[in-house]
Amino acid sequence: MTLPAAIDSVGAACAHVLLTPHPRGKLMAARAAARAWRLGMLAHRFDAAMPDRPARPDAPELLPPNRMPRRGKIGSERARIAMLHALAHIEFVAIDLAFDLIGRFGGRFPAAFTGDWMQVGAEEAMHFALLDRRLRQMGSFYGALPAHDGLWQAAIETAGDALARLAIVPMVLEARALDITPATIERFEGAGDVTSARMLGRIMTDEIRHVAAGTKWFCAATERMGADPANHYQILVKRHFRGPIKPPFNDSARRQAGLTRDFYDALAT
C-alpha cells in the first residue's frame, strides 16, 4: 500500500487517486495517500492539476438520474442489493470528492485542512470497501447495476470556489445522508438484514465527522472574510445547488456536526 516513488507532494498524490479508474486501485491509492501524509512523506505542495473528471471504470454504466431504474421495496433482497449498490457508488465518488477538494483547494488552507480531508478520503475508501464486500456476500458486486453521475456534478459546479464546495458537498449532500440513513437502517432491520443495518450505522458515525470537517473549515474561512457563516452558506446554496433542501432533518446528527438550524432553516422547502 504505497504510492509510486515519483509522487512526493500532496497535489501529485491527489491527482493519482483521481486518475486511477479501477475501484480496488482507487481504494488502495486513497489509503496510500492518507498513510503517506500521516507519515510525513508528502510535501504540502500543490503542483499537479486536478482533472475535470476523475477516471472511471467501464462498469457501472452511468445514467442520468431520471433514467435510473426503480429499486422497489427494500423487503426484497433484490431491492436491498440495489440500495447497497447505489450507496457503494456514492462512496466511490466520495473518494474522488475528498481528494479533489484537497488537491484543488488545499493550498488556500493550513496543513491541518489536508490532514482532515485525507482522513475523510481514507474513510470513504473504507466505506466503499465495506459496501462492495457486502454486495459480494449477497451474490452481487459493484458495477453489476447502473449508477448515476449526479454527485460529481456538484464538483463541476463548485470547481472554482472552495467555500461553495464545502457548502454543497459536506454541508448539503453529506448532511442529507445524515437525514435519511436512520430510516434506511430501520428498513434493513425490518427486512431482517441486521448485517447491512449495522454497517450503515458505522458509516453514518463517520459521516457525522465528515460534515463536521466541512462545517469547521467553512466557518473558519467565512469568519476570516468577516462574513456571517450561516448567511454566506445560504447565499452559496441558493447560487450553486439546484435541488430542494427539504425536511425532515436529523437535527441531532447535524448539531453534532456543528451544522445548526440557523444554517438551513431558511432554505427548507
- Which CATH code of 3.40.1350, 1.20.1260, 3.30.2120, 2.60.40 fits the domain covering 83-267? 1.20.1260
- What is the b/e burial string over 223-250, where b = at least 16 CB atoms within 10 angstroms of the residue's CB? eeeeeebbebbbebbeebbeeebeeebb
C-alpha to C-alpha distance for 169 and 128, rounded to whole angstroms: 17
Out of 71-85, 140-154, 199-213, the most confident range is 199-213
The grid coordinates listed for 34 are 492518507
Please state the rounded mean pLDDT for residues 131-140: 98
Supply the pLDDT for residue 63.
87
Give the range among 4-8, 110-114, 230-234, 242-246 with minimum mean pLDDT.
Answer: 242-246
Mean pLDDT (the chain) is 96
> Is it the case that residue 58 has pLDDT exceeding 90?
yes
Supply the pLDDT for residue 160.
96
Instruction: Give the pLDDT confidence of 59-76 residue by residue, as tens digits.
Output: 999 988 777 877 767 779
User: What confidence tier does 210 reach under pLDDT thresholds 50, 70, 90?
Assistant: very high
User: What confidence tier does 198 reach under pLDDT thresholds 50, 70, 90?
Assistant: very high
Supply the pLDDT for residue 150.
84
For Cα atoms 46, 56, 213, give the angle at the middle one, nearest 5 degrees.
50
User: What confidence tier does 196 reach under pLDDT thresholds 50, 70, 90?
Assistant: very high
C-alpha to C-alpha distance for 126 and 57, rounded to whole angstroms: 18
